[in-house]
Structure 1
Amino acid sequence: MQRMGMVIGVNPDQVATYKRLHEAVWSEVLDLISRCNIRNYTIFLREPENLLFGTWEYHGTDFEADMARMAADARNQEWWSLTIPCQRPLETRAEGEWWARMEEVFHHD
């Protein structure tokens, strides 16, 4: 199992939309997340900075393949067409990232 943490901004005028979308995530998207071996997926919002912090556990054996499967899914692409315009990626993110990945520096069970 691998824990992941990531951060991205959310456009101030899109906070309500982003919250509304996540109050009723489509069942197909939730099923896809599970089929791609992601568990305990949570997104937190920090206002007034308008930062989203996401965390999850990856329980698979081929992260790149699972992420490619997620990105290729037509229903997920439709979901992203609604959520991505709400987001404001960090300028300091790595090449190829949308959400900036974070280094885990502490964990306690």
Structure 2
Amino acid sequence: MQRLAFKMKLNKGQKEIYKKRHNEIWPELKALLKDNGVSEYSIFFDEETNTLFAFQKVSGNNSSQDLASNQIVKKWWDFMADVMEVNPDNSPVSIPLQELFYME
């Protein structure tokens, strides 16, 4: 099992809409993530910097970041593009983070 973390950036004033959209995550997107080994996925928010911190537990060697060619994922990116920093293809600007400590 891998533990993966990455950060993204939310546009100012978009916390509530971001939270609402994730609380109503599409069933087909949730199923896709689970089918691809994502067993846990949490996103935290830093109010001072508008930084999103994401954490995943993933079986296998992939993560949600490896589903870029999937049409459901592309549709989600388009849906979320107005509330966060995105790349030209509407994928979130995502910076992987290195794990320095883990306590079991």
How much does 1:14 deviate?
A: 2.1
Name the CA distance, whole Å, in 2 between partners of 1:51 and 1:88.
10
Percentage of identical aligned residues? 24
Of the three residues 70, 75, 78, the one matched with 1:73 is 70
The answer as to 2:73 corresponding to 1:104 is: no
1:10-69 deviation digits (Å, cap 9, x = unpaired)? 0013222211101110000000001111121100111132110000012014x28x81xx
After the TM superposition, which residues 38-53 of structure 1 pair with which residues of structure 2 at under 5 Å, given as runs? Answer: 38-53=38-53
Bigger helix fraction? 1
**Matched letter for residue 60 of structure 1:** G
1:54 corresponds to = 54
**Matched letter for residue 39 of structure 2:** R
**Matched letter for residue 13 of structure 1:** G
2:89 corresponds to = none
RMSD (Å), alpha carbons: 2.0
Name the CA distance, whole Å, in 1 between partners of 2:94 and 2:39.
18
Q: Which runs of 5+ in 1 are unaligned?
A: 90-96
Where 2:4 maps in the other structure, the secondary structure is strand
The answer as to 2:5 corresponding to 1:5 is: yes
Size of the aligned set, in residue pairs, is 98
**Structure 1 consecutive aligned stretches of length 4 or more whose deviation exceeds 6 Å:** none
Q: Which runs of 5+ in 2 are unaligned?
A: 87-91
2:25 corresponds to = 25
1:86 corresponds to = 83
TM-score, normalised relative to structure 2: 0.82
1:92 corresponds to = none
How much does 1:88 deviate?
A: 2.4
1:93 corresponds to = none
